[in-house]
Chain A
Amino acid sequence: MITRRSRLGLLAATLAIVASACSGSATPTPAPPSAAPSVAASVAPSMAPSAAPSVAASPSPAASASALKIGVVTDIGTLNDKGFNEYSYKGAVDAATTLGAATPPSIVPKDASEYKADIQQFVDQKFDVIVTVGFNLTNDTVAAAKANPTIHFIGVDQSPICVDPQGNPDSTFACKGDAKTLLPNYTSLYFAEDQAGYLAGIVAAYASKANIIGAIGGTTLCASCVRYIQGYELGAKSIKPNIVVKSSYVTHDFSAAAFNDPAGGKVFAETFIKTNKVDVLFQVAGKTGNGVLEAACENNIYGIGVDVDQWLSLGAPANACIITSAEKHLESAVNQAIMAFAGGTFISGDQLYNAANDGIGASPFHDKASLFGPEVQASLDSALAAMKAGTLQTCPTTGCGVAP
């Protein structure tokens, strides 16, 4: 009796696990016709078409088309996340379109344990370029690059590359190896977040009437978050030297609260706004930060988005108070890196994208343009020009990327 019951439970449990395994997870675009069957076999057939945006879009290559095979492994989440995954993938698609190569297939891992296997799927199919998106994929990408010297790997935001003298990922962070020579087939695109933050700070300083502005980061351990905020402070002070810049971090570890808890972020921001009386708030906390922006709008203060143009990506009504966003030009960076490889000039090692190569920027004001006089754009332009010339200090000389 009991045995029969528990067997039924076990069956139901298995079904549930199967259902969850199919969800939100590895859904590689069924590979181009010539591809090995291994990918297709690993995907539930019924789900592949709906979750693979690029199937229908891939035209048969023109006569002059490149045979370059580009694959993208994103971080967990979704491909169309209006953030890192989406714009990095777009960059790969752009490059493929320009080159006339097949539209790059993408794989969205379900959790961190799948990174390695997902990268391996593209390796097994002998792809030429594999783009891996996000810091979390660093170790698996480095390992794959070491094991497959003939395949080129482009990591987005995986700097600084840290390898031991044999070229393996270095978990002790001694970083004794020179990645540039040890892994000539691997590059990490990283961004001058402090420059983007600096531009956002300029806008914030102009928008603030109370002369108190704020920034909320996801976690103190996220160096790029800290750089954004450090640049923001310097940028604001370049316009109003006596402006008060308050900053806080939602948490001090890499728990879900840091980047994936909008409800928590909103409460945190409400307390922050109430306590510090800021009238402009810059979020550097991913999805948690979307809650921060919501709190800003509800409290009738201005919000500043991060990484991508959040006025566009969030849409109405969530973007009601967004005046600008500190952008990393992910699309452009990935595109440039692939084009460089196609042109025979693959640059290995850490590759910085900053103002000089159009790697960062501030989003347009959109419907808030009437708030800002011509002097704001002029300040932004001159700051950008100074960044390009390399004469502008956008991060503290000591402790850049280290939270106070």
Chain B
Amino acid sequence: MDITPLINGLDSIPGLGLVFQAIGYLVAVLPPNSSSIMAQATPLALAALCGVLCERSGVVNIGIEGTMLASAFTAWVVGVALNPMFSADPSPIFGLTIPLVLALAAAILVAVIVSALHAWLSISLRVDQIISGTIINIAAAGVTGYLDQLISKSSPAGAGEFAQFTPPAALTNLPVVGWIFAMFLDQGPIGMSVIVFIIGAQIWLFRSRWGLRTRAVGEHPRAAETVGIDVIRLRYRNVMIAGMFAGLGGAFLSIEATNSFQIGMTNGRGFIALAAMIMGRWTPIGAFASALLFATFLQLGQLINIAPPGGDLGVAMSAIPAQFFDAIPYILTIVILAGVVGRSIPPAADGQPYERESAT
């Protein structure tokens, strides 16, 4: 899709030149990198989905960062421990091996356990939910850091990692739409499953009985209780199921995106996901779109760095400090959260512990 002549023609219009150059640059660089954008969005989208499911049922979970870190570490450790025991070659699709699948399962299990802890603290004990999430973040950073220090001493070989699926070139080279196929198909198993989970959760949350109850519990738990919904049990279930997605996001970091664990490797993604959740107005698809938007600007910042635009635009941009482009995704988040796109209203009972009337 070569629109350079068109862009050049439009360039001659004074003042508009820069705008058209910018559009031309975006069209030139973003689609070929769609699969990288999706890879950046994957952990954010999964973590944001975790946030949506928790908060829709009325439990604030700022411990997503810690949950992801714990899962990333678990996946890596289990992979490292099991790898020597199985010698089978990885399967041609996704590079699946038995240790990898078990590592993924263990990561999800740990995430569910950590989420269960959060649920117990915030639902049963009615601890301040922010404090409970903070505990998880601090403890996860500490415990994984300490254990990593012990384990890395023995210089383990890698845990292995899921391989990316390579879609047929005939598909990804299609004009105009090829990049969309590359975006969703040129991924590992976790990256590819994100869109399925997002759409599934959207339907589940807004079209199923459980989803309706979840939203009712998040908006007005006492009313929900009066029609016979077990608020406590539903919240427990939702928080734990949500935890599975955070676990998936964590495992993505250590056994799909890379083949290593680093102390603090989540690098704030769990918090950015919370912003994506709010930007997406507490809906799975909205959260996914926000994560994608954030990842796009992250990628754009890198592209400006790797392949800066030429022409007048390049000259104009070189006057701006490079740090600004690194900061764009975060600036964007603040601007959007500050209400540019309209008000984003949380579930009414979000963050409020529920106490049965009879329980006192």
Task: Give me the interface of A with B, judged by CB distance under 8 Å.
Answer: 1-2, 5-6, 8-10, 12-13, 15-17, 19-25, 47, 50-51, 53, 77-82, 108, 110, 220, 248-253, 256-257, 260-264, 266-268, 270-272, 274-276, 287, 290-291, 294, 298, 315-318
Contacts and interface: CB of A to CB of B under 8 A. Distances in A.
A255 B259 CA distance: 22
A9 B143 CA distance: 19
Contact of A23 (B126, B131, B142): B142
A113 B39 CA distance: 34
A50 B29 CA distance: 50
Contact of B142 (A16, A253, A272): A16
Contacts of B302: 250, 267-268, 271
B171 interface: no
Contacts of B33: 271, 274-275
Contacts of A249: 305
A7 to B, nearest CB: 10
A-side interface mostly: helix
Nearest to B353: A5
Nearest 4 A/B pairs, CB to CB: A20-B142, A23-B146, A24-B145, A9-B127
A12 B121 CA distance: 9
Contact of A24 (B125, B138, B148, B157): B148
Nearest to B132: A9
Contact of B127 (A5, A81, A252, A253): A5
B125 A264 contact: no
B117 to A, nearest CB: 9
A16 B139 contact: yes
19 contacts: A5-B125, A5-B127, A6-B128, A12-B121, A13-B135, A16-B136, A20-B143, A51-B149, A256-B267, A260-B263, A260-B265, A263-B265, A267-B39, A271-B299, A275-B303, A276-B307, A287-B262, A290-B258, A316-B158
B307 A294 contact: no
Nearest to A287: B262
Nearest to A216: B306
B150 interface: yes
B338 to A, nearest CB: 22
Nearest to B122: A9
Nearest to B308: A248
B260 interface: yes
B40 interface: yes
Given A78-B148, A78-B149, A271-B299, A318 B158 contact: yes
Nearest to A312: B155
B330 to A, nearest CB: 10
A13 B131 contact: yes
A69 B108 CA distance: 48
A270 B360 CA distance: 58
Contacts of A79: 149, 153
Interface in B103-133: 121, 125-128, 131-132
Contacts of A276: 306-307
A101 B267 CA distance: 41
A110 B264 CA distance: 12
Interface size classification for chain B = 35 or more
Most buried by A among B29, B143, B299: B143
B132 A253 contact: no
Most buried by A among B121, B135, B152: B135
Given A82-B155, A294-B259, A317-B158, A9 B128 contact: yes
B307 A17 contact: no
A5 B263 CA distance: 32
Most buried by B among A16, A251, A266: A16
Nearest to A297: B259
B253 interface: yes
Contacts of A266: 257-258
Contact of B36 (A2, A77, A220, A270): A270
Given A23-B146, A24-B263, A316 B157 contact: yes
Contact of A20 (B138, B150, B253, B299): B138
Contacts of A262: 257-258, 260, 262, 265
B205 interface: no
Contact of B322 (A5, A220, A270, A316): A220
A275 B306 contact: yes
A51 B146 CA distance: 9
Contacts of A260: 262-265, 267
B209 to A, nearest CB: 32
B11 interface: no
Nearest to A291: B258
Contacts of A82: 155
Given A9-B125, A20-B141, A268-B302, 12 more contacts: A9-B132, A15-B139, A16-B139, A24-B148, A25-B145, A53-B153, A249-B305, A263-B258, A267-B40, A275-B33, A316-B157, A316-B158
A6 B127 contact: yes
A213 B138 CA distance: 42
Contacts of B149: 23-24, 51, 78-80, 108
Contacts of B43: 263
B323 interface: yes
Given A8-B127, A20-B138, A248 B305 contact: yes
Contacts of A317: 157-158, 259
